[in-house]
C-alpha cells in the first residue's frame, strides 16, 4: 500500500488558468509533487493534500501580478517552495532564489526544480542571516513574526526594493509592533493589503526600502 493517502486531490480552481496561463500544467505537476513526495518526506501534512491549491498554491499566487518585470526575488524560509516555486512557475521573467536551511527541504526543492525543468530558480541552503546578496524583492510566508522577519530580510532588500511578507490575520498587530524596527532597518513605507481569495484570506505587508 502506498504511504501517501490517496485522498481526493483538488483540481486547479478556474482562476488558476489566469495566473499560470500556458504553465498551468507545470503548476499541476508541482501540486502533485507536494501531495506525493512532499507528504512522504514530511514537508507537508497529509491533511493538507485536499487543499493544496486553495490554501497553498493560490494563496501564494495572489502576489504574482505585483512582481516587477525581470525582478530578482528571494524566498526566505521557503520550506517546500511556498511561495517561491509558485511565483517562479507563473513568471518566467523573474530570477528566484529559494533560501532554506534544512537539508531535507533543500533536497526536495532541488529535485522539484529538476523535475519541473525550471531554469529561473536557484536553491540556496542557508539561514537568511548568512546571506549577503541583495534582491529586488524578498518574500517570506509563515516563517517568523514581522519584527524578526524584518531583521532577517531587510538586509537582503536592495535600496529601492521591497519586502513582501505574506501574513494572516495577525498582520495589523505585527505591523504595529514592528514599525519602529522596520524604519530603523531602512523602511521608507509600509503598506498592508488584504486579498479575499476564498477559503484563506491573505494579507501582504509591503515594506519598501
Ligand X SMILES: C[S@@+](CC[C@H](N)C(=O)[O-])C[C@H]1O[C@@H](n2cnc3c(N)ncnc32)[C@H](O)[C@@H]1O
100 binds ligand X (CB under 6 A): yes
28 binds ligand X (CB under 6 A): no
Region from 17-25, 61-69, 74-82, 108-116 binding ligand X, contact rule CB under 6 A: 74-82
Cα atoms found within 13 Å of the Cα of residue 76, Cβ hemisphere only: 30
Q: Residue 84 CB, nearest distance to ligand X (Å)?
A: 8
Check whether 158 is labelled as a binding-site residue.
Answer: no
Please check whether residue 85 is in contact with residue 109, taking contact to mean a CB–CB distance below 8 angstroms. Answer: yes
Beta bridge partners of 123: 98
127 binds ligand X (CB under 6 A): yes
83 upstream amide cis, omega within 30 of 0? yes
Distances (CA, A) of 164 to 65, 148, 192: 13, 14, 10
Neighbours of 130 (CB within 10 A): 10
State the cell numbers at 71.
525582478
The interface mask with ligand X, positions 157-176, x = CB under 6 A, is --------------------
Q: Residue 83 CB, nearest distance to ligand X (Å)?
A: 7
Cα-based torsion angle of the residue sequence 135, 139, 145, 150 in order, rounded to the nearest 10 degrees? 20
Region from 61-69, 70-78, 115-123, 176-184 binding ligand X, contact rule CB under 6 A: 70-78
76 binds ligand X (CB under 6 A): yes
Neighbours of 15 (CB within 10 A): 12
Region from 2-10, 21-29, 75-83, 185-193 binding ligand X, contact rule CB under 6 A: 75-83
Please check whether residue 64 is in contact with residue 87, taking contact to mean a CB–CB distance below 8 angstroms. Answer: yes
**Closer CB to ligand X, 93 or 129, in the complex:** 129
184 binds ligand X (CB under 6 A): no
Annotated binding site: 77, 82, 128-129, 141
Binding site for ligand X (CB under 6 A): 76-79, 82, 99-102, 105, 127-129, 141-143, 152
Annotated binding site for S-adenosyl-L-methionine: 77, 82, 128-129, 141
Amino acid at each position: 500500500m502506498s504511504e501517501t493517502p490517496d485522498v481526493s486531490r483538488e483540481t486547479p480552481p478556474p482562476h488558476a488558468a489566469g495566473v499560470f496561463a500556458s504553465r498551468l500544467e507545470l503548476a499541476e505537476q508541482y501540486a502533485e509533487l507536494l501531495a506525493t513526495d512532499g507528504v512522504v518526506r514530511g514537508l507537508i501534512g497529509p491533511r493538507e493534500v485536499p487543499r493544496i491549491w486553495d490554501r497553498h498554491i493560490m494563496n501564494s499566487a495572489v502576489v504574482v501580478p505585483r512582481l516587477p518585470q525581470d525582478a530578482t526575488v528571494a524566498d526566505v524560509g521557503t520550506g517546500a517552495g511556498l511561495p517561491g516555486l509558485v511565483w517562479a512557475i507563473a513568471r518566467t521573467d523573474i530570477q528566484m532564489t529559494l533560501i532554506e536551511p534544512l537539508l531535507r527541504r533543500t533536497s526536495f526543492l532541488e529535485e522539484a526544480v529538476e523535475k519541473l525543468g525550471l531554469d529561473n530558480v536557484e536553491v540556496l541552503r542557508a539561514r537568511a542571516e548568512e546571506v549577503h546578496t541583495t534582491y529586488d524583492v524578498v518574500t517570506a510566508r509563515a516563517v517568523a513574526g514581522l519584527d524578526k522577519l524584518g531583521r532577517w530580510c531587510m538586509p537582503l532588500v536592495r535600496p529601492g526594493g521591497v519586502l513582501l511578507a505574506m501574513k494572516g490575520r495577525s498582520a495589523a498587530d505585527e505591523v504595529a509592533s514592528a514599525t519602529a524596527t522596520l524604519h530603523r532597518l531602512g523602511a521608507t513605507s509600509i503598506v498592508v493589503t488584504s486579498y479575499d481569495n476564498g477559503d484563506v484570506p491573505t494579507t501582504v505587508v509591503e515594506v519598501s526600502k
